[in-house]
Structure 1
Amino acid sequence: MQSISYERARDVNHAIALGGEPGAKFIGGGTNLLDLYKSGIEKPVRLVDVSRLSLAGIEELPDGGLRIGAMATNTAVGTDPLVRQRYRALSEALLNGATTQLRNMATVGGNLLQRTRCYYFTDPAFTHCNKREPGSGCDALEGHQRIHAILGASPHCIATHPSDMAVALAAFDAVVHLQGPGGERKVPLIDFHRLPEDHPERDTVIQPGELITAVELPAMPFARQSHYLKVRDRASYAFALVSVAVALDIDGGNVRDVRIALGGVAHKPWRAPEAESVLRGQTLSADLLARAGAAAVNGAQPYPGNAFKVELAQRAVVRALQTVIRKSGGQV
């Protein structure tokens, strides 16, 4: 049996020093890491506890944006008054993401670092998984593909990203703050997670020893008019088959600005700039929303088991937009 050590970080610099050692893993709430450790998927030799670092605050920025500490729990963020008022879809995403017990433990940093979702990755009984063993193959390609990616996949991996929170953050132009042996840096959320390409074992651009310290939400007044729609097989906190986060700035039936991001369709939260371009500067109509929905899945490459996701994603985009329009007092 492999031995494992545990150490509690005193501060951020101490955490970075410990986390840079071979086989070390940061642990906050542990809601994903411990499951993967128990099943033998993750094999850390040292757990570095960062849960008590002073990184749990939610601060208003001078420009009206928010800085959310990496150790803030999903419950704290989802119920925060400023988040609910200014970034409605983020609150909705978090409160639809898991049970209360999990939300009370799970942290913002840990949420972003969840491993991608795939039956063949999380069950070691399946031997061919390029994410676990690079070069071993991908059992999902010929397997049960219902939950898998239709956008941005590769012949090496068709897993999807499981986070609800990250989809809303992608729609709101969030920025991830990192601190590591090389100092501090900021990475746009849409660039933080990787597509699988030839290296599906790399989920993010984070470097060894780097620690997520915060997520910054820039000021976006029309994020108040936003919505997170989650389509799933059952309402009891299942993962999304398809999800959509939208924010819409409408002036007299004209679209001044818009943000759209999708979940459950790719290896990372999927921003939909083509769909945004279809809408921006146009007058709202049923045909316009339908064209935006189609643009959101442009280039989709489904497999037999998940081909339904293409139309489902289109319809979800339209429905999410309709919801925001209706709540804003408009109609289509």
Structure 2
Amino acid sequence: MNSETPRIVVTRALPPAALEPLHSVGSVWVSPHDRPLTVDELHAAVRGASAIISMLTDRIDDDAVAAAGPNLKIVANTAVGYDNLDVPAITRRGVLASNTPGVLVDATADLTMTLLLTVTRRVAEGDRLVRSGTPWSWDIAFMLGSGLQGKQLGIVGMGSIGQAVARRAAAFGMDVVHHSRRPVDVDGSHPLPLDELLATSDVVSLHCPLTPETRHLIDADALRAMKRGAYLINTARGPIVDEAALAAALADGTIAGAGLDVYENEPEVHDDLRRLDNVVLAPHLGSATVETRTRMAELAVDNVVAVLTGKDAPTPISVPSS
């Protein structure tokens, strides 16, 4: 390999066809491990890299960028969220950071509605009952759930995914309200302060980014503020919810149920949540369609190819002004 050839590090396997364009701009190393790299493995792997294609399970901080060295030009995160990147530290070293927004909006909104319907209609609970072989028979009060028509959905974080969920919820006859960091004008929804949204919504769905301000946004106090028959859905980031507090609230009936796709210490899940029937637990499936995951990989590759050929990255991450 020519010493001038850019080295491109991919921290976990992506669809081979999506990676193909990289071979025309550099030498590509793809992790052989079917798991996230350890910190030491990551730092060793990125040494001398001009580009890193990272996954949401990789912590790319100042130490990782320093390990890569002076040739590094871009960290392309294969996710819409980038709480795993220390973006200020990356950009201080003159390295561009990018993500893959937009392409997973519909898939994540669909999964949100899947969790909402599954927990409110007790589908997963019923599936476990049937599979267990436990005798059952239909009667008028058997496994009653909650309908959605006329119920209020409170969306926390009214970005692209939140708005896509709002459109789907409206089709089910739900009334939609929202709370966001910035004013958002959305047809069919009106803004509410967070405390009022929690107190009045029959379902609360989280779509905000993970930041220091939103970590444990839904804690014991927030759960007590919700309606007693309400449901919580989280397809955003796990640490937005205090899992121990959620497990206690589900166990004592503070809220009726929850649907989770993300976890505070992913992939670990709080043991008390595993034991409860009124919570649906999915293994981070928000973007898990063939079409969406392929397009995410393609967009991450597009960002790398653009930067290594002297062009602007399609989806750079902008550091918010302090």
TM over 0.5: no
TM-score band w.r.t. shorter chain: under 0.3
**Larger strand proportion, structure 1 or 2?**
1
- For the pair shown, the structure with the greater C-alpha radius of gyration is 2
Report the TM-score, using the length of structure 2 for normalisation. Answer: 0.20
Report the TM-score, using the length of structure 1 for normalisation. Answer: 0.20
